């Protein structure tokens, strides 16, 4: 039995299928981005808190002059 994949489009309307696929992908992308923004580790808008603490600690360290 041979199955021709082009016959799938006889069962489904191509325009409706592609619009539904695009809508699903947009919703999935928004969901993933909002989940990342809600987490401290992956929030790129507020910055990396670990990096800012390390930078602040590096600035406040005293420098010993070489004599």
Give the tens place of pLDDT for each residue, 23-51.
Answer: 999 999 999 999 988 888 888 888 766 66
pLDDT of residue 22: 98
Determine the Cα–Cα distance for residues 23 and 3; give it in Å rounded to an integer.
Answer: 29
Indicate the annotated binding residues. Answer: 1-2, 33, 44
On average, the pLDDT of the chain sits at 82
Give residue 44's pLDDT.
Answer: 80
Residues that constitute the known binding site for bacteriochlorophyll a: 1-2, 33, 44
Where does the pLDDT of residue 62 fall: very low under 50, low under 70, confident under 90, or very high at 90 and above? low
pTM: 0.59
Q: Which residues contact 23 (CB under 8 A, 6 or more apart)?
A: none
Q: What is the model's pLDDT at position 37?
A: 87
């Amino acid at each position: 039995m041979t199955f021709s994949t082009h016959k799938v489009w006889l069962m489904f309307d191509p325009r409706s299928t592609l619009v539904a696929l695009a809508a699903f992908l947009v919703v999935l992308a928004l969901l993933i981005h909002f989940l990342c923004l809600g987490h401290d580790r992956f929030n790129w808008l507020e910055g990396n808190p670990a990096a800012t603490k390390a930078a602040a600690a590096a600035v406040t360290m005293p420098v010993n002059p070489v004599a």
